[in-house]
Amino acid sequence: MSPAASPIVPEQPRQLALLALQSVYRGAYADVAVHQALQRGSLLEKDRGLFTELVYGCVRRRRTLEALIQQFVKKSPPPPLHCLLQLGLYQLRYLSHIPPSAAVNTTVELAKQNGFAGLAGLVNGVLRRYLRESEQRDPLRLPDDPIQRIGILHSFPDWIVQVWTEQFGASEAEALCQWMNQPPSIDLRINPLITSLADVQAEMEAAGVTVQLLAAAPQALRLASHVGAVDRLPGFAEGKWMVQDASAQLVAQLVDPHPDNLVIDGCAAPGGKTAHLAELMGDRGIVWACDRNPKRLQKVEENAKRLHLNSIRTLAADSRQIEQFVGEGDRVLLDVPCSGLGTLHRHADARWRQTPANIEELSVLQSELLTQGAAWVKPGGSLVYSTCTLHPRENEEVVEAFLKNQPDWEIEQPDAPWASPFLNPAGWLRVLPHHQQMDGFFMVRLRRRG
């Protein structure tokens, strides 16, 4: 280093988390705010985990933290101070590895460093009051209404709690909310055309990475611990595997494509299921990957190239308007755009962005995609409709409305052993995260009578 150069001073994770939270509450997506902060910042490696935990945790637990702030502060604090109090309360309530004194003192210092020296006493008082009350009982006061109680305690909008309660009952809905607040796991799907589960497992363990097999998905391995950048793990560059949750791996299994089929993936990007279809076909035949966003199709092509798959073709178009496949497809997959209520643990702010109005808009789009996708299937062929949501308006109701208007179609129940834990008597499959420890999914196979 030259005498004139200044050393890089590592940023503090709590300060960077405060700035990222302020960005999120101004409208930024949480994952974008985190990524940009990590790209711009100079956090030490050991501090990156705390930074991401604070941002995602505060966003995820926002309703609970806001309820506590309302209890302890008579007048609503300005937004930056609001974020500060969230950071402090989140550490006290949810991070057992951080000493309470450290959580209080660092939050008070953050207030002073960010222009709130005059309110540092308020911050100190709120956090210490929380600590005092928590010695006797949980300081969080909850309403009697069961929907609101679950929503405030587990930090979900009432409407999502209501939807899950109506489907599964109150205790199941609460268990589902609890599960969605856990850190997401990372699953890999092994490319059987160039490797095996045993070989990838051995390579991972040789590199000090512990993995576990998953009974429901025959090509899946689950990473048992945090590993940092997954694209640096053994086998990624060689195309031996790709990241895909075990639930998503079930979808291509349900499609059940055969070698030399013509398969159409109507909502393909970023291409995880497209690649899985090609693998199950032995890379023989053609898999058309359709998406209306050409840039997203580039990811499909990148995945296909890395996985050494040659049967995949891409088409940039709105699948509601594609006519060239009419009556041609042996298999069609429609993994339609949805609200993502089955994957809320992966997207910290998604529970706050979705609304009942969005659900209604999505259900219209889903119905249009299903109607057009069905036209692509040849007589005797089949179509799989799937979502990563747990809302009947996007799942059962879309399928029931389609079947009511399409007498040539019927539900075809899979008879494969892997399907039995997820199979409903009506013939569709549903993955419940808190029971199966995978993303929430809905899927059904429909057959066109020959």
Q: How big is the chain by its Cα radius of gyration, in Å?
A: 24
Q: Residue 349 is inside which H or E element, if any?
A: none
Residues 395 and 430: their CA atoms lie apart, in Å, by: 10
Q: What is the dihedral of CA 15, 18, 24, 25, to 10 degrees?
A: -160
DSSP assignment of 394-425, as one string?
A: TTHHHHHHHHHH-TTEEE-----GGGGGGB-T
* Topology (CATH) of 246-448: Rossmann fold (3.40.50)
For CATH 1.10.940.10, list the domain ranges present in the chain: 13-134
| From 177, 267, 290, 388, active-site residue | 388
Query: Which class would CATH give 13-134?
Result: mainly alpha
Question: What is the per-residue DSSP string for 180-206?
Answer: HTSPPPEEEEE-TTT--HHHHHHHHHH
All CATH 3.30.70.1170 domain ranges of the chain, comma separated, are: 187-243
DSSP state letter for 3: T
- Measured between alpha carbons, how far is 217 from 184 in angstroms, rounded to an integer? 17
**Residue range(s) of every CATH 3.40.50.150 domain in the chain:** 246-448
Active site residue 338: no
Q: How many helices (H) and strands (E) does the chain have?
A: 18, 12
- Tokens found for residue 404: 């009511």
From first to last of the 450 residues of the chain, give the pLDDT tens digit.
Answer: 434 443 434 469 999 999 999 999 999 999 999 999 888 877 888 899 999 999 999 999 999 999 999 999 988 888 788 999 999 999 999 999 999 999 999 999 999 999 989 999 999 999 999 999 999 999 999 999 999 999 999 999 999 999 999 999 999 999 999 999 999 999 999 999 999 999 999 999 999 999 999 988 999 999 987 777 899 999 999 999 999 999 999 999 999 999 999 999 999 999 999 999 999 999 999 999 999 999 999 999 999 999 999 999 999 999 999 999 999 999 999 999 999 999 999 999 999 999 999 999 999 999 999 999 999 999 999 999 999 999 999 999 999 999 999 999 999 999 899 999 999 999 999 999 999 999 999 999 999 997
Q: What's the rounded Cα separation, in Å, for the pair 334 and 350?
A: 22
At 289 the three-state DSSP class reads strand
What is the CATH number assigned to the segment(s) 187-243? 3.30.70.1170
Rounded CA separation 265/290 (Å) = 6
pTM confidence score? 0.93
